[in-house]
Amino acid sequence: MSQVILTRKAEGPALDYWLSLLSGHLDTIQDLLEESHPLIHPNSVFDTSDVDGWRNYRYNTKALRIWSLTYEEEFTCPLYVTASRGYSECLQLLLKKGADVDFAPGGESALHGACENGHNECVRLLLRYGANPNIQSQDGFFPLHHCKTEESYLCAKLLLQYGGHVSSQSEDENLTPLHVAACHGLLGHVDLYLRYGAAVDKQDAQGNTPLGVACSHPQTTDQLDSYYNVCQRLVDSGANIHTRDNDQQSPLHLACKSANPLTVELLLKQGAEVNAMSYSGNTAMQNILQVTSYKLQNQPELIVRALLNHGAIRVWPGALRKVLRYCCSSPRTVEVLLNTYSKLRGTEDWAEVVPEEVQQKSPLFFQSVFLISRSPRSLQHLCRCALRSYLEGRLPNTLPNLPLPPPLLQFVQLAFEGILY
């Protein structure tokens, strides 16, 4: 087995070989391999630790560079380079020329690289030539762990068809492929793994199940549906919604942190413990209130309303001024919280904690907030509070059975009106 060292002085066939692999020039690679040069081999090892320095030297002899005082070896091989870039014809040529299909001088095999980048045809070729679908990288990950994008679905399917272990855990973090798929909101992968018998409740090193991982991953507004669908699929497959992580956080705690209203509603309907506390003493309500100001696009007010309608303990009245300070950018969140009290006192100084620019965006609403302690709440509101108090803990199951018209039903469930009275 030969070794090619890429340094600032690298020239000749070795350099041409490297550049051809990077660009996928099949004819050049074939010509170089047929020349029987001692440094040109399907299993050559490239030291890429100084690739940047080498490029500066190769194309600009006057380039200046700051050299690191430490040296870290970074190795790769032709098979990994071509597989990770999707050059299937070059990959096939190297395999026909005798490349070791599981060779991994850099710690990851070509199969890892092909899966990481979703190159299905390269994965197919490697497996046909005998690649081990359960080969472990230097960091303790299997090829299935590298299937992290929608494009890698067929890669994952091929790995399983060739004997990949669907519930294999990574070395340090104990992640399964199902954890990885759930983390990235990949419903297709999740469904595939479950059909192959993946363990739905296996916990990682942090105590998270795949459901917990899906609930906790940061989610933009356009990702909410994807993560909800993943959670729905996991729950339908028997995932335990009560399993806690090492910090005693349930999936409901985590879904509130990521502010996904759909997932929170799903967990509540499945019977999640709405007032359970984590090691830090936080409930699901505290988690959503802490992230409200920077999760506005996710409509955190829907989560607050759902929690209250499922029996969440209300905020202590003495803390409402503080909540107003941190949640005033979401008027609806403030509205739904305040509409659970039959009376409020000491609201005159609340205007001090709400920035003027925020007040100007919803003037009528905040004016009603600052005035509610000066006169009794409306009779309609007081009736709502009385009914909610009587049905406390039974609202979700009882209200649909009451002979109330839909508008009144929505009112009792804290429908948003944009004003307090």
pTM higher than the cut 0.85: yes
Largest CA-CA distance found in the chain, in angstroms, rounded: 94
Given a contact cutoff of 8 angstroms between Cβ atoms, the answer to whether 273 and 252 are in contact is yes
**Neighbour tally for 206: CB within 10 Å:** 15
More confident: 200 or 45: 200
Domain ranges, ordered by start, for the chain: 1-165, 199-313, 330-421
The yes-or-no verdict on residue 222 having pLDDT over 60 is yes
How much is the pLDDT for 331?
97
Q: Encode 19-39 in three state secondary structure.
A: HHHHHCCHHHHHHHHHCCCCC
pLDDT in tens, 154-173: 999 999 999 999 999 999 99
CA distance 390 to 388: 5
- The residues that bridge with 47 in the sheet, in sequence order, are 5, 75
Letter for the amino acid at 16?
D
CATH of 1-165, picked from 1.20.1250.20, 1.25.40.20, 3.40.50.150, 3.40.1280.10, is: 1.25.40.20
Average pLDDT, the chain: 90
User: For position 3, what pLDDT does the model report?
Assistant: 54
Closest CA to 182 of 157, 160, 203: 203
Average pLDDT over residues 218-229: 96
Please name the CATH architecture into which domain 199-313 falls: Alpha Horseshoe (1.25)
Say yes or no: do domains 1-165 and 199-313 share a fold. yes
pLDDT at 192: 98
3-class SS at 108? coil
